[in-house]
């Protein structure tokens, strides 16, 4: 029903390591990002959330923050940059950084939990870790779900029809749905906190 419906306007920022990885081919980078957005839009329908791409920023000259192997440091820098710069230029609810930097250890993404609409905290960082677009898209959806209050799934969370997008490690499959637990956590967070920035239909 429409009372449940939310609208999440996101900005994807593509860092300079991505520009190098794709040899400065911005049409190719854009196509790669748009394909991911299509994938996550499909996944988020189950949560009654419309994903709207409000902006795609490509750091073609140089990085505007220090992107490093520490995902934690990169996340913090990106959040601070969003609050002092991006938020004043583009109207949006959430920003995600896409990088070709290899984060330390097995980390391929990081985000703050239950932080939607917070200027410094409504962010995530994603490593472009696979040549399979859908797998990077699932990581993107996963980090955005953390911002929406969804934690990692426990083993007993999975219904028969579900393959968890919040499972660690992310399961490689053609379709990833959110589990019942993710759905409940997201709805609880939205009804309890009611983050105001995702109420308006753009």
Strands laid side by side in the 6-14 sheet: 49-58, 6-14, 94-99, 123-127, 109-111
3-state helix, strand, coil in the chain (%, to 5): 40, 15, 45
State yes or no: 92 annotated in a binding site: no
Active site residues: 143
Residue 129 annotated in ligand binding = no
63 is in an annotated binding site: no
118 is an annotated ligand-binding site residue? no
End-to-end CA distance of the chain: 18
200 is known to lie in a ligand binding site: yes
- CA-to-CA distance for 9 and 91, rounded, in angstroms? 8
Beta strand 123-127 with 109-111 is antiparallel
Question: Closest Cα to residue 129, out of 72, 71, 65?
Answer: 71
197 is known to lie in a ligand binding site: yes
Q: For residue 88, say whether it is annotated as part of any ligand binding site.
A: no
Binding residues for Zn(2+): 142, 146, 152
Binding residues: 9, 93, 142, 146, 152, 197, 200
Binding residues for Ca(2+): 9, 93, 197, 200
């Amino acid at each position: 029903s429409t009372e449940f419906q939310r609208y999440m306007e996101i900005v994807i920022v593509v860092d300079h390591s991505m520009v190098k990885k794709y040899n400065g081919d911005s049409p190719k980078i854009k196509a790669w990002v748009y394909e991911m957005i299509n994938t996550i839009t499909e996944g988020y329908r189950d949560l009654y959330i419309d994903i709207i791409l409000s902006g795609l920023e490509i750091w073609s000259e140089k990085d505007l923050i220090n992107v490093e192997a520490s995902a934690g440091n990169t996340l913090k820098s990106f959040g601070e940059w969003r609050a002092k710069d991006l938020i004043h230029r583009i109207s949006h609810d959430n920003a995600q950084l896409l990088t070709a930097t290899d984060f330390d250890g097995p980390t391929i993404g990081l985000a703050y939990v239950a932080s939607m609409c917070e200027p410094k905290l409504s962010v995530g960082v994603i490593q472009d870790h696979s040549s399979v677009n859908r797998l990077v898209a699932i990581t993107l959806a996963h980090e955005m779900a953390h911002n929406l209050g969804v934690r990692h799934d426990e083993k007993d969370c999975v219904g028969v029809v579900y393959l968890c997008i919040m499972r660690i490690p992310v399961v490689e499959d053609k379709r990833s749905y959110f589990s019942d637990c993710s759905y409940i956590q997201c709805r609880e967070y939205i009804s309890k906190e009611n983050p105001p920035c995702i109420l308006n239909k753009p």
